[in-house]
Amino acid sequence: MECIIITSMPIRKIPLITEEYYHIYNRGFNHQKIFYSSNDYDRAYKTIQYYQYLTTPIKFSYLYIQTPKRQKQIFDQLVQTSIDILAFCFMPNHFHFLVKQVKDKGVHLSISKFSLSYSKYFNLIHEKKGPVFEDRFKAIRIVSNEQLLHLSRYIHLNPYTASIIKDINQLPNYPYSSLKEYLSPHSFNLCSTDFILSQFKSKQEYLNFNLDHADYQKQLHLIKDQSID
């Protein structure tokens, strides 16, 4: 598995490759919480939903205060994305995205704008100062279809792995991941689900693909934590 570290610097030694898939993730500075309320999660969702596009005419903070009608007008103008998002999960102190870069520098541009915008919001709302995220987000290149499917499952199982969801059967009800979009899509999804779902006979089969691996992933997580202690 190839690990590519992306910083906020304008020049980096290893560029991300257009038309390739990546696991993008970051955590709160010093492992601090980055989501305290449903409003925080909702803000993050809407922020990345906006900044996945290549050319955004105004900052998201300005878009957010527009009327619903005006917001729709602006979104209707957005056609070309920088990245396609295949899966995501927001956790109390970190986030995961599975993305395909569709334009050169697309990952860097979209994730950097998302991180900066959300950080400003977070510090303002919670009356904090300083960094919200670690100083760099991580990008791991996906090198096989098997790895891509495994990663989508890994991302969706995060709430159960971390024991936020106690009952595995309640995992589809976790409101801050893309699993619900895979099972019950709505009119304006964040994620492109067709590529992954096309490899399963049904949505139920994809759900089973996730659930059948849940306890194994949780055990690995516990072993990892014990080894750190």
Domain span at 68: 2-6+16-228
Residue 49 domain flag: yes
Residue 166 domain flag: yes
Residue 51 domain flag: yes
| Angle, helices 214-228/145-161, rounded to nearest 10 degrees | 70
Element (H, E) at 195: helix 194-197
Residue 113 domain flag: yes
Residue 101 domain flag: yes
Token pair recorded at residue 48: 């990345």
Question: Is-contact 126 69, C-beta < 8 A?
Answer: no
d(CA 181, CA 5): 29
194-227 pLDDT tens trace: 999 999 999 999 999 999 878 767 766 655 554 3
CATH code of residue 164:
3.30.70.1290
For residues 152-168, give the mean pLDDT.
94
112-123 pLDDT tens trace: 999 999 999 999
Token pair recorded at residue 131: 């960094």
Which pTM does this prediction carry? 0.88
Residue 11 domain flag: no
Residue 103 domain flag: yes
Query: What pLDDT, on a 0 to 100 scale, did the predictor assign at position 186?
Result: 78
How many structural domains are present in the chain?
A: 1
Residue 182 domain flag: yes
210: nearest Cα among 143, 160, 140: 160
The single-letter DSSP state of residue 221 is H
